[in-house]
Each structure stands twice: as C-alpha cells, then as structure tokens.
C-alpha cells in the first residue's frame, strides 16, 4: 500500500543522508591529519547516491535511494615543509589531508536539510495513515 511504501522511501533517504553526514564528520575530523607519505595521507570521502527502483508496480515503482559506494577524492594532498614534525620524510616534508573544510560544511548543511525534508514527509504520511485508521469512529 502506498502510504506504507512512503515509510520505506523516506527511511532509505534518511539512512543515505546519515551516511553522508558520517563521511562529512570523518572528513572534518581528519581535516588536519598529517601523514609521512602521499599515499598514506587522508583523502576526503564522499558517498555516491543511486536510485533504487522497485520492480513491482510498473509506473508506480517506488523509487528509494541507496548509497552505491564511497569514493575518495583524487585531489593530491598538499606537501608542507615541516622538518621538525615527527612524521616528516627524509626531505622534511609532511603530507596534509586533501579535505576542503568549506565543501564539507556545505555538504553538512545540505545533508541535514535533506534529512529534515524526509522526516517531514514521514510525519505527514504517518498522520494520514493514523487518520485513515480512525475512519468512521
């Protein structure tokens, strides 16, 4: 039934957005992480969203969303000369993470707004269902 499908759809959206919030939190937490080699430097992670069409129902196939995977940014980590740093390599360079704090903040706001929208949809359909249940009373 339609209104019950709404719970699945909104639930999938909330879970996908919370994965996005999780990656944002990891990225911001590691914004100042330092590594001794370019390969070991922290790279910012971003989830990739994908539509899941339910095969049953033809045109009315419910379209939920899932996280297809997490990709790591391929921006090269910046190389900073800090000879005194314990992790510095032989030439005295350390490698900073390639997290862009501004991008992450924007991502965080967008994810939280989308999460709120899904909660709103969920509440609306819950109210409608409850009112339908009390029909004729």
Partner 1 sequence: MALNIDKLFAGHARALGIANQRLQLLAANVANADTPNFKARDIDFKGAMQEAGQQKVQLKATHPKHLASVGSANRAEVQYRVPDQPSLDGNTVDTQRESSAIAETAVRYQTTLTFLNHRIQSLRLAITGR
What is the binding site for partner 1 (CB under 8 A)?
A: 1-3, 5-6, 9-10, 12-13, 16-17, 20, 49-51, 59-60, 62-65, 110-111, 113-114, 117-118, 120-121, 124-125, 127-128, 131-132, 135-136
Tell me if residue 72 falls in helix, strand or coil: strand
Tell me if residue 29 falls in helix, strand or coil: helix
Residue 1 CB, nearest approach to partner 1 (Å): 7
Of 49 and 93, CB closest to partner 1: 49
Structure tokens at 46: 């971003």
Distance of CA 53 to the CA centre of its chain: 20
Of 28 and 121, CB closest to partner 1: 121
For tokens 């997290």, name the residue: 99
């Amino acid at each position: 039934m339609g209104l019950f499908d709404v719970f699945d759809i909104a639930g999938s959206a909330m879970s996908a957005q919370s994965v996005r919030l999780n990656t944002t939190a990891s990225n911001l937490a590691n914004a100042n992480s330092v590594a001794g080699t370019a390969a070991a430097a922290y790279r910012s992670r971003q989830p990739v969203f994908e539509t899941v069409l339910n095969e049953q129902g033809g045109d009315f196939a419910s379209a939920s969303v899932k996280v297809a995977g997490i990709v790591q940014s391929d921006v090269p980590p910046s190389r900073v000369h800090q000879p005194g740093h314990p992790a510095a390599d032989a030439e005295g360079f350390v490698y900073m993470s390639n997290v862009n704090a501004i991008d992450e903040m924007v991502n965080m706001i967008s994810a939280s707004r989308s999460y709120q929208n899904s909660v709103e949809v969920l509440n609306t359909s819950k109210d409608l269902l409850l009112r339908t249940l009390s029909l004729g009373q």
